[in-house]
Amino acid sequence: MRKSDTGWVALALVEHLGGNKLTALSNLFDGDIEAIFNADEASLRRIQGIGPKIAARIQALNRQPLDQFKRQIEAWHKAGVSYATIADKSYPARLLHLPDPPAIVFWRGVADAIPAHNTPAAAIIGTRQPTPKAAEAAERAAYDIAAKGWIVVSGLAAGIDAAAHRGALAAGGRTLAVLGSGILKVYPPENQSLANQLIRCGALISEVRPSAVANTPALVARNRLISAFSDSVLVVETAVDGGAMHAAKRAFASERAVFTFDLPATGNQALIEQGATKLAIDAAFSPI
């Protein structure tokens, strides 16, 4: 059975299950989705991380008609949504190396804007309220590397992220937006027009249901995906408590190159102290 079949999609959507536990369930039950749905709590809890709440959610699937999931999948297809569970061949390979990979991801747009292992990609991220000089630097850096064939990865947030996506598109390159909302509920809404451009020339991707609204945990969690999709990370400008710091932390932990501009922002200075490569604001960005 293909892991994208309805039952597996339903399982992948179980709250707090995640990719590792889904994979472990598939292995434990020899890929038999019916056996998983019919398993008792004790059997399900043999998987590390599955407690009574997650076990109950899995068992509840056996009492729900799969037709409702089939209808949902059909609606996604009509809206141009593609998806893959962690067991599918189309699942983004770069995410498999995460310690906490998503059980399922959803995307819209050009598939080759999702970086493969052999495709160079760099994240360009930062504050939602940049100085004009920082916003200009983000757009310029994205333009330069996109023109050289790099995929520009960012989060579609206002400010630096939006500037990075615009720079990549202006260069005729590919850019990937990793969302903390569903791909049919773009956040922030004022970037819907930019998102529409990305769908034509790049891609939107998210681990949450396509119709889900943004929330703080999802916005934070998507930073690990931004880092995973990227060979290096450029933090243009950020406060020390900014969301971009989460992606930089992940990049440091996975020994990816981290760059930042030598600006007075507290996050930039903290990153320089932590070992990020320091760039002058008017310097060309080379992500290698």
pLDDT in tens, 131-157: 999 999 999 999 999 999 999 999 999
What's the average model confidence in pLDDT over 167-192? 98
Same domain for 232 and 249, yes or no, is yes
The reported pLDDT for the residue numbered 64 is: 85
Confidence band, pLDDT 50/70/90 cuts, at residue 2: very low
Same domain for 123 and 92, yes or no, is no
Same domain for 193 and 169, yes or no, is yes
Task: Give the residue from 90, 109, 128 where a domain finishes.
Answer: 109
Residue 231 lies in a domain: yes
Structurally, the chain folds into a number of domains equal to 2
- Strands lying side by side in the sheet with 151-154: 82-85, 104-109, 203-206, 175-178, 151-154, 121-125, 232-235, 257-261, 277-279
Same domain for 134 and 261, yes or no, is yes
Same domain for 160 and 215, yes or no, is yes
Is 273 buried (19+), middle (13-18) or exposed (0-12) by CB count in 10 A?
exposed
What's the average model confidence in pLDDT over 230-242? 97
Name the strand (E) or helix (H) holding 38: helix 33-38
119, 124, 171, 202, 262 from 143: Cα distances, Å: 17, 11, 5, 14, 20
Same domain for 137 and 91, yes or no, is no
Cα gap 148→122, rounded to integer Å: 12
The reported pLDDT for the residue numbered 124 is: 99
Q: What share of the chain has pLDDT > 70, as a percent?
A: 99
Same domain for 75 and 214, yes or no, is no
- Nearest CA to 84 out of 96, 71, 75 is that of 96
- Nearest CA to 87 out of 12, 191, 160 is that of 12
Q: Which domain holds residue 72?
A: 6-109
Same domain for 75 and 120, yes or no, is no
- Nearest CA to 149 out of 112, 195, 97 is that of 112
Residue 17 lies in a domain: yes
Question: For the segment 249-283, what is each residue's pLDDT rounded down to a tens digit?
Answer: 999 999 999 999 999 999 999 999 999 999 999 99
Contact 287, 120 (CB under 8 A): yes
Residue 288 lies in a domain: no
